[in-house]
Amino acid sequence: MSQIGVPTPEQRVASTGIGRWQTPALVIGVIGAVLSIIGLVVDPLQFSRSYLPSYLFWFEIAAGALTVQMLQYITGGEWGLMIRRPLGAAGRTLPWMALLFIPVILGMKHTYPWTNAELVRTNEALSKTTHYLNPTFFIVRAAIYFAIMIGLSLLLRRYARQFSETRSPYVDVHRRGLSAAGILVMVLLLTFVSIDWQMSLEAGWTSTIFGISFVVSCGLSAFAFVVFLLSRLAMTRAMAEILRPSHLRDLGNLTLAFIMLWAYTSFSQFLLVWYANLKEEIPYYLKREHGVWGWIAAILIVFHFFLPFFMLLMRSIKDRASTIGVLAMIILVMRYVDIYWLTAPSYYGQTFRYSWMDLTTLFGIGGLWVWLFIVQLKGQTILPIHETWVEEALREGAVRHA
């Protein structure tokens, strides 16, 4: 038997093979980035408007992973057995997401109406928000947001390493304390992120429930991503003996909870706007209910709520990696559709547009992000083998190296 936290030579042989995805992800990312740069030179306006929803999609996964990781530290439970390491790796990509935020800053004049001085002078609602919505303060707040998120991810990583070396219960107490405070900070921080980066796209439009809906969306994106990842790893020899139907079932149940929360917050926002019937608020949904945007709204209702909701009620679907993996991919696709539906009408109004740069930025950012994620995850065990509640799995020889 090996020492606790040290895999035996036999355990090192079986690998999840996650490293084989690293090079294809980098190639896709580089090609997407090069094509996006060409688009930037040809049409800076379209590039900026395409870049923002693509960035928000991958940011939600990274920020949501950090938040769910802290939730797992607080609550414990076997549901986090398989996803703690992937969540940590996704959260540690946030420094690179800060770097990838630079194009958003450089393209502010093409995306955010409050950067237009003439419009601010003529729009009463915008003129009252200049103390908050101005380029300088926007950049400062973004820097603060990333500093806090990156700090939390680095502290969690440090505590994880300390615990793997010392097995001290005091380290675990400090880690749980940091997570308890950190998850509250993340909820507040992501609320401000949603206001700054997404809600302010609409001149004068506000919603008190928009922030919590954004937080839920981040959690849902993170869960869908790690469930899809596990569904792929379940097909490898390294994880086939470890990943049990109960693990996938627990994750499926939690994904169902986030689906229901997303539907509740989204419908509540629509209901409040419809009931109030204020001229400052109703144009937001009028643009998104007509033409192609209306059909996209119907697609979101069916494929982002009803289909996942009823499928996740079925135990046979949640227990099998093949079926829950397909469902997780559907949710991820719908997350991007939802972000685009919330973002693009702010630029185009009721006219639907989808540029080739929407795809190049999506795959450019995504390829680089997946490559960075694998860099963070590669070379360590998928299971946190230094944790006391994993000792039994280690004694049974069920741990395999990533």
Closest CA to 384 of 153, 75, 74, 167: 167
| Spatial contact of 218 and 64, defined as CB atoms under 8 Å apart | yes
Tens digits of residue pLDDT in 265-322: 999 999 999 988 888 889 999 999 999 999 999 999 999 999 999 999 999 999 999 9
Which backbone phi and psi does 131 adopt, to 5 degrees? -70, -25
* Cβ(61)–Cβ(225) below 8 Å: yes
Q: According to the model, what pLDDT value does residue 78 have?
A: 74
User: Which pLDDT does position 196 carry in this prediction?
Assistant: 97
Amino acid identity at 45? L
pTM: 0.92
- Residue 391's pLDDT is 55
Given a contact cutoff of 8 angstroms between Cβ atoms, the answer to whether 288 and 274 are in contact is no
* CA-based end-to-end distance of the chain: 19
Q: Given this model, what pLDDT does residue 352 score? A: 95
Q: Supply the pLDDT for residue 23.
A: 93
Residues of the chain falling short of pLDDT 50: 1-14, 393-402
Q: Where are the domains of the chain?
A: 9-395
Q: Which residue, 122, 40, 117, 25, is CA-closest to 369?
A: 25
pLDDT of residue 386: 59
Contact (Cβ atoms closer than 8 angstroms) between residue 320 and residue 176: no
DSSP letters along 239-303, please?
Answer: HHTT--HHHHHHHHHHHHHHHHHHHHHHHHHHHHHHHH--TTTHHHHHHHSSHHHHHHHHHIIII
Taking the C-alpha atoms of residue 43 and residue 137, their distance in angstroms, rounded to an integer, is 27
- What is d(CA 271, CA 2) in angstroms, rounded to the nearest whole number? 58
**Per-residue pLDDT, 392:** 52
